[in-house]
């Protein structure tokens, strides 16, 4: 008889199948064949051998095989007209074994996915925890043998109380491990009302700006541009320190020569550049309009003069 596969999964919905309506010896033989089948669905055994393995009589085994090889009108598996087994050389072939195996593989894959997700979450949880060792203020504890401990304790007791056996216990605490979770700070969006008000009331900021050669009027002008720019950005435009960001903006403008003691010596930024302020843009547009109007006036004068000459 062919060796047993070792493990066969029996689905609970077998009780809802037509095999469960069969007589007891048929159900026993069928379950025995499932247990004896190999990975290809082959059950290699003789009829007497199968009867012995199923603990049924020979006649009951023959009857069970006849029913399992016969069409089943009400079977949920419509392949092979509901037949469950067929004769092969040396035994029988379970006709729906491949479907049964695919179902097992599907369940196994689901279980593997669940286990992988569980391990991933566990690793992520452990990565967030930082173990901090506390105790003894970072100083290593002195190691003693049993004899040294007794001697030190007795000596200390004699020094403090004049008697043996009354020494206090070592007050040094034992090191403990405390998990600490470090939370990342989150930035905030600029408040277009609160931030300008806070800056105008910040005397220290104006003193700092004065050391850079920046006037109060220039600070207020930069404040208006800075606030309008960041308030109009997307929701992800957040900062941890808006005051510091504003100071960086003033320093950049001083270095570029747009404000501060050297601002008059610098030209306005190129048209359309990232450093061009709204005021620069307005002045540039006005100058363009004035030049266009002057060109139109010159053109009209030339045409008038030509008409006079022709006339």
Spatial CA neighbour of 219 closest among 174, 170, 172, 253: 253
Q: How far is CA 138 from the centre of its chain?
A: 36
Q: Of all residues in the chain, what percent carry a pLDDT higher than 70? A: 70
Residue 79 predicted with pLDDT over 50: yes
3-state SS, 198-241, equals HHHCCHHHHHHHHHCCCCHHHHHHHHHHHHHHHHCCCCCCCECC
Which of 9-13, 52-56, 101-105, 148-152 bottoms out in mean pLDDT, i.e. has the lowest? 148-152
Chain centroid to Cα 137, Å, comes to 37
**Listed ranges 91-105, 168-182, 232-246, 274-288; the one with the highest mean pLDDT:** 232-246
> How many angstroms separate the Cα of 181 from the Cα of each of 45, 132, 178?
63, 10, 10
Helix axes 242-256, 203-211, angle to 10 degrees: 20
Answer yes or no: is pLDDT of 252 > 70: yes
Q: What is the mean pLDDT of the chain?
A: 77
Taking 90 as the threshold, does the pLDDT of residue 119 lie above it? Answer: no
The residue assigned the tokens 């109060």 is 216
Q: In what order do the strands lie in the sheet with 85-88?
A: 42-44, 91-94, 85-88
273-287: b (≥16 Cβ within 10 Å) or e? eeeebeebeeebeee
What is 12-102's CATH topology? Arc Repressor Mutant, subunit A (1.10.10)
- Could you give the CA distance from residue 108 to residue 111 in angstroms, rounded to a whole number? 5
> Which residue is associated with the tokens 């290593």?
140
The CA angle 245-249-250, to the nearest 5 degrees, is 120
Residue 158: pLDDT band (50, 70, 90) is very low
Residue 181 pLDDT grade (very low, low, confident, very high; cuts 50, 70, 90): low
Domain coordinates of the chain in residue numbers?
12-102, 136-181, 194-266
Q: Which long-range contacts (CB under 8 A, 24 or more apart) does 226-230 make?
A: 227/190, 227/192, 227/195, 227/196, 228/192, 228/278, 230/189, 230/190
Which tokens is 224 given?
Answer: 């208006």
Task: Give the model confidence (pLDDT) of 55-69 as tens digits.
Answer: 999 999 999 999 888
More confident residue, 77 or 269: 77
> Which ranges of the chain would DSSP assign to H, the alpha helix?
24-36, 47-54, 58-68, 97-128, 146-161, 194-200, 203-211, 216-231, 242-256, 278-310
């Amino acid at each position: 008889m062919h060796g047993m596969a070792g493990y066969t999964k029996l689905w609970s919905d077998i009780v809802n199948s037509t095999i469960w309506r069969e007589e007891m010896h048929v159900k026993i033989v069928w379950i025995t064949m499932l247990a004896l089948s190999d990975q290809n669905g082959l059950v290699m055994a003789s009829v007497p051998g199968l009867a012995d393995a199923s603990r049924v009589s020979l006649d009951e085994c023959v009857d069970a095989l006849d029913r399992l090889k016969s069409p089943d009108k009400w079977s949920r598996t419509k392949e092979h007209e509901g037949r469950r087994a067929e004769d092969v050389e040396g035994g029988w072939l379970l006709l729906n074994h491949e479907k049964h195996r695919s179902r097992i593989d599907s369940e196994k894959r689901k279980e593997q996915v669940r286990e992988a997700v569980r391990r991933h979450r566990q690793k992520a949880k452990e990565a967030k925890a930082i173990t901090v060792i506390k105790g003894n203020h970072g100083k290593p504890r002195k190691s003693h043998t049993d004899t040294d401990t007794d001697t030190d304790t007795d000596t200390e007791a004699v020094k403090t109380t004049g008697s043996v056996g009354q020494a206090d216990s070592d007050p040094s605490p034992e090191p403990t491990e405390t998990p600490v979770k470090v939370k990342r700070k989150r930035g905030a969006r600029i408040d277009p009302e609160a931030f300008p008000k806070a800056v105008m009331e910040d005397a220290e900021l104006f003193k700092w700006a004065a050391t850079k050669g920046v006037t109060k009027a220039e600070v207020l002008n930069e404040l208006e541009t800075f606030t309008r720019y960041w308030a109009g950005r997307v929701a992800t435009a957040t900062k941890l320190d808006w005051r510091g960001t504003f100071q960086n903006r003033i320093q950049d403008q001083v270095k570029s020569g747009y404000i501060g003691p050297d601002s008059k010596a610098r030209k306005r930024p190129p048209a359309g550049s990232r450093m061009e302020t709204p005021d620069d843009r307005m002045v540039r547009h006005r100058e363009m309009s004035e030049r266009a109007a002057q060109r139109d006036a010159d053109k009209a004068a030339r045409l008038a003069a030509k008409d006079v000459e022709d006339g």
